[in-house]
Amino acid sequence: MVSFKIDPKIKEILQKLAEEDTRTLSNYLVTIIQDHLKAKGIFWGAEEQHEESEKEKSAIRFSSKNITPPPTGDH
């Protein structure tokens, strides 16, 4: 558990955003933090690392098999 003080106006805004996503404030904050960590390339569990690894493999597989290099202009 983490506890911190926050400006009441910010809390109100976050609460409204959480409600729009049909989440509790706590769940909404956890989701925001997790998304931020993922965006920074920080993975904290085996499942997240596996998902990212599979995405990278797919991207590599796609780029190496399906993309034709541009012409060099040596016609």
Residue 75 lies in a domain: no
Give the C-alpha distances (Å, rounded to integers) separating 10 from 5, 6, 15, 16, 47.
11, 7, 8, 10, 32
Q: Does residue 53 fall inside a structural domain?
A: yes
Domain, as residue range, for 15: 8-62
pLDDT band at residue 46 under the 50/70/90 scheme: low
pLDDT at 60 over 90: no
25 to each of 2, 9, 14, 16, 63, how far by Cα in Å? Answer: 13, 14, 7, 9, 40
Residue 73 belongs to a domain: no
pTM over 0.75: no
Percent of the chain with pLDDT over 90: 53
Whether residue 23 lies inside any domain: the answer is yes
| pLDDT tens figures, 12-35 | 999 999 999 999 999 999 999 999
Structurally, how many domains does the chain consist of? 1
Instruction: Tell me whether residue 74 is in a domain.
Output: no
| Residue 69 falls inside a structural domain | no
In a domain? residue 48? yes
Asked if the model's pLDDT at residue 72 lies above 80, the reply is: no
